[in-house]
Amino acid sequence: MKRAPTAALSPRTLLSGLALVVAALLPLLLPTFQVTLLTNILIFAVLVTGLVLLTGVVGLTSFGHAAFMGVGAYTTALLSTRLGWSPWLGLLAGFVTTGSVAALLGLITLRMQGHYLPLATIAWGISLYYVFGNTPALGGNTGLTDIPPITLLGVSLTNPRAFAYLALVCLGLTALGAQFLLSSRTGRAMRALRTGPLVAEAFGVNPFGLRVQVFVLSALMASLAGWLYAHNQRFLNPTPFSLSAGIEYLFMAVVGGSQHVWGGVLGAGLITQLRETLRDVLPGLLGQQGSFETVVFGLLIILVLQFARRGLWPLVERWLPQEPLRLLPAGPGLPRRAVPATGTPLIQVAQAVKRFGGLRAVDEVSFELRAGEILGLIGPNGAGKSTMFNLLTGVSPATSGRVTLLGQDITGRSAAQIHRLGVSRTFQHVKVLPELTLLENTMMGGYARAHAGLLRSMLHLERREEAALQHEALRQLERVGLGEQAGQLAGNLPLGQQRILEVARALVADPALLLLDEPAAGLRYGEKTALSALLRRLRDEGVTILIVEHDMDLVMSLVDRLVVMSSGQKLAEGTPDEVRGNPAVREAYLGVDLDEPTSGVAS
Residues that bind ligand ATP (CB under 6 A): 356, 359, 361, 379, 381-387
d(CA 416, CA 206): 7
Nearer to ligand ATP, 176 or 521 (CB): 521
E-state strands within 406-541: 408-409, 423-425, 513-517
Nearer to ligand ATP, 118 or 382 (CB): 382
Nearer to ligand ATP, 386 or 485 (CB): 386
Tell me whether residue 603 is exposed, middle or buried, using C-beta atoms within 10 angstroms of its C-beta: 0 to 12, 13 to 18, 19 or more: exposed
Which DSSP letter does residue 321 get? P
- According to DSSP H, which parts of 52-146 are helical? 65-82, 87-109, 116-134
Among candidates 279, 214, 291, which has minimal Cα distance to 58?
Answer: 214
Residue 220 CB, nearest distance to ligand ATP (Å)? 39
Residue 471 CB, nearest distance to ligand ATP (Å)? 37
- According to DSSP H, which parts of 52-86 are helical? 65-82
Q: Are 214 and 190 in contact (CB under 8 A)?
A: yes
Nearer to ligand ATP, 201 or 248 (CB): 201
Residue 490 CB, nearest distance to ligand ATP (Å)? 25
Rounded to the nearest 5°, which phi and psi values hold at 151? -110, 130
Residue 109 CB, nearest distance to ligand ATP (Å)? 26
Q: What is the dihedral of CA 117, 227, 170, 241, to 10 degrees?
A: 40
Cβ-based neighbours of 266, under 8 Å, separated by 6 or more: 256, 257, 312, 313, 316
- Residues constituting the chain: 603
Residue 307 CB, nearest distance to ligand ATP (Å)? 39
Q: What is the 3-state secondary structure (H, E, C) of 508-536?
A: HCCCCEEEEECCCCCCCHHHHHHHHHHHH
- According to DSSP H, which parts of 257-320 are helical? 261-286, 293-307, 313-319
Residue 505 CB, nearest distance to ligand ATP (Å)? 22
Q: What share of the chain is helix, strand, coil (3-state, %, to 5)?
A: 55, 10, 30
Nearer to ligand ATP, 224 or 516 (CB): 516
Nearer to ligand ATP, 16 or 399 (CB): 399
CA 66 to chain centre: 23
Residue 352 CB, nearest distance to ligand ATP (Å)? 12
Residue 387 CB, nearest distance to ligand ATP (Å)? 3
* 273, 277, 297, 449, 477 from 293: Cα distances, Å: 11, 9, 6, 51, 51
Nearer to ligand ATP, 354 or 505 (CB): 354
Nearer to ligand ATP, 425 or 471 (CB): 425
Residue 334 CB, nearest distance to ligand ATP (Å)? 34
Nearer to ligand ATP, 24 or 359 (CB): 359
Nearer to ligand ATP, 55 or 386 (CB): 386
Residue 519 CB, nearest distance to ligand ATP (Å)? 14
d(CA 518, CA 549): 4
- Report helix, strand or coil for 484: helix
Residue 399 CB, nearest distance to ligand ATP (Å)? 12
Nearer to ligand ATP, 296 or 395 (CB): 395
Nearer to ligand ATP, 34 or 569 (CB): 569
> 101-107, long-range: CB within 8 Å, 24+ apart, which pairs?
101/68, 101/71, 101/128, 101/219, 102/68, 102/215, 102/216, 102/218, 102/219, 102/220, 103/212, 103/216, 105/215, 106/211, 106/212, 106/215, 106/216, 107/212
Residue 406 CB, nearest distance to ligand ATP (Å)? 25
